[in-house]
Chain A
Amino acid sequence: MNAVDGSDHYNKTSDEPPPSLLTIILDTNAHAWALLAPTLPLSAAIANLLVFINAHLAFNNSNKVAIIASHTQRAEFLYPIPSEDDSRQANGSTHNGAQNGLDGDMNMTDGNEANYAATADDANHYRPFRHIQTTLLSAMSKLYKTTSPESLTPTTSIAGALTLALTYINKQSIAFSTTTSSKTNADPLLAPSDPNSIQPATLNPRILILSVSGDLAHQYIPIMNTIFACQRLTIPIDICKIAGDSVFLQQASDATHGTYIALTHPRGLLQYLMLGFLPDQSSRKYLVPPTAVGVDFRAACFCHRKVVDVGFVCSICLSIFCSPPEGAVCLTCGTYLQLGEYGGKPAVVAKRKKKRKKGADE
C-alpha cells in the first residue's frame, strides 16, 4: 500500500480502533470509606478497580490508564507518578523486597494486601498489570500515611482531580497526535494561528469518577469550569456513585454525555464497572447505556453554599444567592442591586414584547 517509508506497523495501527485513555478519579475520602466498610471496604474496592483496569488494558494493546486520587484536601496522581518515583518503581519490580515492604504497610487498612504482595512476585503476572498494581498500592499507602487526622473532612477535592485529569489528557492527546501524524510536526507554526486549536482528540479519552462523598458545593465554580472544558473537548465524564449524593456530578455526566450509575448494591462494584463503564465511546454507540431518569439541575448559592432550586442572581456577575443579600449589595462584586419586584425581568421576558413592537415598526 503505502511503501514510502516502509512503516507497515503504522498502517496496521490505523486500521485498529484508536486507543482509549481512561482516567479514573478515585475518591479516597477516608471518612466516607470508613462508613462504607461494612458493605464495601476500600481494599475490596481497589481490588475490583484493578480487575477493571486490567480488563481495560487487555482490550487494546495501546490503551492507557491514569488514576488520580481525589483526597480530602488535595488531589494527587496515583498512576502514573513522577519519573523519579518511576525509576524507583522500575527497581522495585526487579527487587521486590522494598516493594513488599510498602505493600505490607497496607495491611494496616485492610487484610487482603497479603495477596497482592504474593502476586507481585508471580512471574506469570502480566508485567503491565503488575506495574500498575504495585504503583497504585504504594501510592495509596503513601497517600494515607501523609494524611493528617485534622485534614479529614467529609468533603473531597473533586475539582482539583478533574483539573489534573484534564491537563493530563490534554498532554497525552498532544503527545499522541504528534507521534501518530507527522503532519502536526511539519507545520508547527500553523497551530498558534488557529484561534480555537483544540486538538481533535484522536486519543479516545474518558473520565470515570468513583465517588463516595457528597457536598461539593464549595467547589461549584471550578467544577463547572471543568465540566465546560469536557463539553468542549467531548470527553465524557462517567460517574460511579458508590455513596453519598452530589447534584453536580450528575450534571457533569449529563452535560458531557457520560454514564451516571448510582450503585444500589455497592458490594457488586466490579459488576457495575465491567458492564456499565468498560465500553469506550465508540462501542457505546451500539449499546443501550444506563440512563439517569431525571437530572437534578439545582445550583449552589454563593453565600452559604446551599443547594437551591430558586435563587437570586446578580445581573452583573451572575452570582447566585439563596436570599436577597443584606443591604442589597452583591457579596461577590459589591454592586448595589435594585431589588424592586425581584428585578427587571431577565432577557427571555423581553423577547415577546419586542417581536410585536418590531412588527409594528415595519
Chain B
Amino acid sequence: MAESDDEYVQDISDEDIEAHQVTRGAGAGSRVTGQGSRGAGWEVTRTWENVVEGADGTISSTVEGLLEAGKRKRLLKDTTPLQRGIIRHLLLVLDLSNAMSDKDLRPTRYLLTLRYTINFITEFFEQNPISQLGIIGTRDGLALTISSLSGNPNDHISNIQKLHEQEPKGQPSLQNALDMARAALFHAPTHTTREVLILFGSLLSSDPGDIHATISALVSSHITVTIIGLAAQVAICLTLATRTNPSLPPSQTYNVALNEIHYRDLLMRATTPPTTPHSTTERSGVESSLLMMGFPSRIVDPSPTLCACHSRPTRGGYLCSRCSSKVCSLPTQCPACGLTLILSTHLARSYHHLFPLRNWREVTWARANESGQKVCFGCQAPFPERPASLRRQSTSGAQNHVRMSLATPRSQPHPPKAVHTSTASKDGVSESGRYECENCGRFFCIDCDVFAHEVVHNCPGCQSREGILTSGTGKGVGQTEVVVEEMTGETAS
C-alpha cells in the first residue's frame, strides 16, 4: 500500500489486507482524506459575538432576535411543489465494524447509531406509511440481514434492539452489503423508489471483488444510494453516491456527520420522500401507474369471527371494500380478492410533501402600518407596536429598510415577492414581527408561522377566508386545482 496511507492503515492487520481486496478509492492509491466536510467541525463559531447589547442595556432583544432567526432558518426551505417518490423501498445499511466502537460520537458511534436508527424507523413510517424498510448490517467482511423488508416498524425496532447485545467487530464490506440490498430490492415494483441508505463509520471497505462492477449493477437497476459518513469522506463512498444519483449534487447524497446533532439531522432528512426528476421513466426507473386501492371501514362484530388473514377469531377488523373479507390490520392486501386495502389517512399523511405550504414573507413596518392588522390572525396575540425610536434613528439599518420599501410603488397592492424579501429580510426575520401569507394577505406571528409550516401545513387564513368553498361540485378539484396552478406557474417562471 502507498506510504501516504499510513495513518489510516494502522488498525488493519495484514491478514485483512491479504484476505480481501481493500477498496479505498476510485483509482489505485487515490484517497480523499477527511479535510473536506469534516474540516468544518474544527472551526469554532463565535456565537457570543453576535450578541449585542440593546438600547436598554440588556441582551434580551438580541437573544429574542437570534431565537426568531433560528426558528425561521429551519423554516425557510424550498416549498416548490415537486414530484416525490411517495411509495418507497428503502434499505438501511448499518456499519457494524470495529470503527463503530469509536467514542467520538457519544456514547459510542455504535450505540448512537442504534438509538438514532430507532428514531429513524419511527419517523420513516410516520412520513411514509405505505413504504417498506429493510435493514442490513455489515461486519467481518460480510453482510447480514438484520431486518427483512417490511412495512412494520415494530419488527424493525425489536430487531435493532437485539443488536444492543452484540459488539461491533471486523471490517465492513460495502460490496457484500450492496449486493444483498440489490437482491432485496430486485422485486420492488416499478412505481416505487429503490433506495439504499448507508451509515458508514469506517474509512475502508473490505470486499471480495470489484466494487465498481457492483456500482454499475446498482445504476442499471435504478437503485439510488445515499451515505452518511461518521468519520471522514471516503472516495469510494463519494463515487458510489454520485454514480447512483447522477441528477443530484453530492452534498445531498453523501455527507459526513460533524457531531451528534448533525448526524441526527442528516438521518432525519432521509425520512422525507426523495424528489423524482420529471423525466421519471428513463432516469430513475420509477414508472407511474394507477393503483386500485380499497378504503375499508372498521367493524366490531358482536361475536368473534375468523379473519381472512390469519384465520384467528377476532371481533374487530376491517372489511374488504370489494369482497367483504375481514382482515386484522392495515395496510394489507385482501387475502381473498387481492385488492390493496389501506387507510385513507395513510395516503393523506404524505399530502403535505406534495402540496407544501408556501413560505410566508416578512412584513416591513411600512406595510404593517398600511394594513392595520393588529393581532395575529392565527392566535389572536397582539403584534408589537412600531417603536418610536425607529423613526428618529436615521442611520439604523431598519430605517433604511423602511425607506426602501416605501419607495416601492404604493399603488400596487401586492408588490412582487422579490421586492419584499430583499428589503425586509434579515436572516428571514421580519422587523415588524409579522409574517404575511401572500395568498390571503393575513399577518401571523413567528410562532404561528413556524407551527403552520412545520406541524399543520395549512394556512389558517387561506382556510378561513370567504370564497374558499365557493367552487361547487361542478367545478371540481377545489384546493388541488389551486395547487396545480401554482405548480405549473412555478415551473414556468
A-to-B contact residues, CB < 8 Å: 72-77, 80-84, 151, 153, 155, 157, 159-161, 163-164, 166-168, 170-172, 174, 188-189, 191-193, 195, 198, 218-222, 224-229, 232-233, 251, 254-255, 293-299, 302-305, 308-321, 324-325, 328, 330-340, 342-351, 353-355, 357-358, 361-362
Contacts and interface: CB of A to CB of B under 8 A. Distances in A.
Nearest to B261: A193
Given A166-B451, A302-B477, A159 B463 contact: yes
Contacts of A170: 379, 447-448, 451, 455
A304 B131 CA distance: 27
B476 A74 contact: no
Nearest to B268: A195
Interface of B: 47, 63-64, 66-67, 70-71, 73-74, 83, 86-87, 89, 130-132, 145, 148-151, 180, 183-184, 186-192, 261, 264-265, 268, 276, 280, 287-300, 318, 321-322, 331-333, 338-340, 342-345, 347-352, 354-355, 374-376, 378-382, 444-445, 447-448, 451-452, 455-460, 463-471, 473, 476-480, 483-484, 487
B293 A313 contact: yes
B187 A357 contact: yes
B215 to A, nearest CB: 19
11 contacts: A166-B455, A171-B376, A294-B300, A304-B473, A305-B476, A309-B296, A311-B295, A321-B290, A332-B354, A337-B290, A343-B291
B463 A75 contact: yes
Contacts, number: 342
Contact of A347 (B67, B89, B471): B89
Contacts of A357: 183, 186-187
A358 B290 contact: no
Given A82-B375, A83-B374, A219-B479, 20 more contacts: A73-B467, A75-B463, A159-B458, A163-B456, A232-B455, A295-B297, A297-B296, A299-B344, A303-B477, A310-B294, A313-B292, A331-B484, A334-B484, A338-B289, A348-B151, A348-B332, A350-B189, A353-B187, A357-B186, A358-B184
Nearest to A151: B466
B284 to A, nearest CB: 12
A74 B473 contact: no
Contacts of B338: 345, 349
Contact of B480 (A228, A251, A332, A340): A332
A171 B381 contact: yes
Nearest to A170: B451
Contact of B340 (A157, A174, A228, A346): A346
B347 A320 contact: yes
B479 A221 contact: yes
| Most chain A CB inside 10 Å of its own CB: which residue of B457, B458, B468 | B458
A95 to B, nearest CB: 23
B456 A166 contact: yes
